[in-house]
Structure 1
Amino acid sequence: MKKYEKAEQDYKIGLSLADIAQKYDVSVGTVRSWKSRHWTTNVAKNVAVKKPTEKAIDELNDSELTDKQKAFVLEYLHISNATQAYINVYDVDRETDLANGPRLLGFKTK
């Protein structure tokens, strides 16, 4: 397990960024970088959680999408972030999710 993965576990149990930096002998800035680049968060703190309507769920169930695609749609409706929804559902590397999250929404990527 990499340092930033161990540090994420420590953060989830309540250690401060400064304490994590001291524990792993890195700067607080490094820990902040790990947090923004590697640690998964489901919803931003100041954003209200959205719930899909019954109509949206019924239409989704009647669609020809795969189970993973349906899960992506539900996750996207929940967090409003295509890249993070793709990460949560497909568990892929950063480059793949940056391209495919928006692609599933119909946006063109480079």
Structure 2
Amino acid sequence: MALNAVADNGEAIGRGRLIGRMAGTLKIDAEVVEAAPAELTAAGLLEETPGGTSRVGFTPAGRHRHHANRAGIADITARLYAGLPAEDLAVAGRVLTEVTARANAVLAGS
């Protein structure tokens, strides 16, 4: 998830924004994900970006890992959805969108 957030933000993101995005998406406290940037940096997937702000970006290994993850997910997704009628996929998409909206509303009220 952290690698996707970095990629979605142009391959570099502020630490605070990364933590906020992960916590918001996962619906958990920011403290739970605060270690993620440091762990990914230690693993050689992210690095501090040049400049005075607290930003992290991909290393070449991180970029490669992200692309490999995305390719693997795309392959699995294509196989899972293969042969399903387009109208069934459209209905499923609408239902999942509504269920997600309801879940977000319930969790926001907790």
Shared fold (TM-score greater than 0.5)?
Answer: no
Q: Which has the higher helix share?
A: 2
Q: Which has the higher strand share?
A: 2
Higher relative contact order (CA 8 A, sep 6+): 2
What is the TM-score of this pair, normalised by structure 2? 0.29
What is the TM-score of this pair, normalised by structure 1? 0.29
